[in-house]
Amino acid sequence: MEREFLTQFTFENNSCACDIESVIDDMSGNLIKRIALKETKDQTIKMGYIYGSGLKVLGDRKKREKNNVLGEFLGIKKDDIESYKSYFEKYGFLFNTNPDRYTSINTSDLYYLQESLLAFVQLMNNQYDIDFKNSINTQELLDACIFLLFREPKTIKINDSIVFETKQNYIMNIVNNSINHNDGIEGLKYEDRNGQKIGYFEIYDSVFETTIKIDQEKYLKILQHERLPNWCKKLLRVYKNKNQLVKNHKWHKVSDFLYHLVFDLSPFDMYNITLDGIFNDELYKDLKQNKQIFDALIYTSKLLLSEEFQNNLKSVHPVYNVLDMKPDWKLPSLFSAMYFSLFYLDSSQVGLRKCANPTCNQYFEVSKTNSKKKYCDSFTCGNIVNQRRYQRKKREQQK
């Protein structure tokens, strides 16, 4: 097979037959559409990760057809069930299903997986690199971190076996469950200020790497504030009591970062988290100017990157291919193969770029140093945009 010698790993997916079914949703009573799919016996799709161009189907392909496993999945719009269907017909499903009967999948589950993967791509794409800070898109980085920290945990089962599971994040678990009966007393110190005895707490701030003082009165006032959301109060409690509550010290900086984000920059609605702009534009600018808080964001993003890799690659095993005498990997699913393609992405040299066709949304791999490539595919997206431009020009000339 052509180019196979250049691949870092290969993966064989089962192909599937795919339909759209309409059912009454148990929860809402509304009519909803679902994907129903069944594996096609004895038919597989062989893919490989090719350095610099991504995960692709190997072997003969139809001419002019896009071949970009990860990028096309990320580009599917919310609730666009037809696009999910054609994607699975082309590349097979994300997980193994049953070849003997149809399995039904909700589009909301598919979209959750897509957003989780996109958040991960945004973290990969916005780490320190050649241009240091200038090429980092603060909005993408911050939104992705907040998404991965605050998303509702989800378990997806197929035929009674769990194929995907998000763990509640370590630090969010502590924040959500923090209750402290000795809140205003624990660690209380006193000092004399103008003849008055004032109670205060000393807190080590790992973002600013210094010890700060908060007066007991101010602390209790914030905890009793009527309009401040409960989870923000819990965040303050963890900020103050992290030595007792956060046993794993590498997360101290993350909880302190969240504290500064909410109390110094902007509170936000933790139940309304999206990947397209949680905050207003000013906040993203302010954040970039604020060196310590920005560094804490980078720190947080790196911790989340390693967590996500660990969680999504936990079932990947090394195997040895004795036929070719080559090392290889056993991947449990297409979804893990997509994460694994990012594992092999050399992010200092190669990045994922969003297609410049505004109706496309797909991502593609490009060299960071010398590529001016704007479109995921020059035949489809490049041509569409060029034609639009040409027609607009023609209309303007006719006026």
Q: Which is nearer to Zn ion, 347 or 361 (CB)?
A: 361
Q: Which segment (119-127, 151-159, 240-248, 361-369) binds Zn ion by CB under 5 A?
A: 361-369
CB 85 within 8 A of CB 270: no
- Calculate the alpha carbon distances from 392 to 5, 201, 217, 374, 383 in Å: 45, 65, 64, 20, 14
Residue 360 near Zn ion by CB under 5 A:
yes
Give the amino acid at 23: V
Least distance CB 380 / Zn ion (angstroms): 7
Q: Which segment (15-23, 288-296, 330-338, 375-383) binds Zn ion by CB under 5 A?
A: 375-383
Residue 278 near Zn ion by CB under 5 A:
no
- Calculate the alpha carbon distances from 302 to 237, 250, 310 in Å: 25, 11, 12
Q: Which segment (32-40, 102-110, 336-344, 357-365) binds Zn ion by CB under 5 A?
A: 357-365
Among 10, 357, 363, 385, binds Zn ion (CB under 5 A): 357
Half-sphere exposure of 364 (CA within 13 A, CB side): 18
Q: Which is nearer to Zn ion, 46 or 389 (CB)?
A: 389
Residue 355 near Zn ion by CB under 5 A:
yes
Q: Which is nearer to Zn ion, 15 or 362 (CB)?
A: 362
Residue 376 near Zn ion by CB under 5 A:
yes
In angstroms, the CA 181 to CA 298 distance is 34
Residue 211 DSSP code: E
Residue 166 near Zn ion by CB under 5 A:
no
Q: Which is nearer to Zn ion, 33 or 90 (CB)?
A: 90
CB 257 within 8 A of CB 297: yes
Least distance CB 143 / Zn ion (angstroms): 22
Least distance CB 360 / Zn ion (angstroms): 3
Q: Which is nearer to Zn ion, 62 or 101 (CB)?
A: 62
Q: 361 — alpha (psi -120 to 50), left (phi > 0) or beta?
A: left
Half-sphere exposure of 195 (CA within 13 A, CB side): 0
Among 256, 362, 363, 385, binds Zn ion (CB under 5 A): 362
Residue 381 near Zn ion by CB under 5 A:
yes
Q: 83 — alpha (psi -120 to 50), left (phi > 0) or beta?
A: alpha
Q: Which segment (56-64, 77-85, 128-136, 372-380) binds Zn ion by CB under 5 A?
A: 372-380
Angle formed at CA 266 by CA 308 and CA 272, multiple of 5 degrees: 55
Three-state DSSP class for 387? helix
Where does this chain bind Zn ion (CB under 5 A)?
355, 357, 360, 362, 376, 381
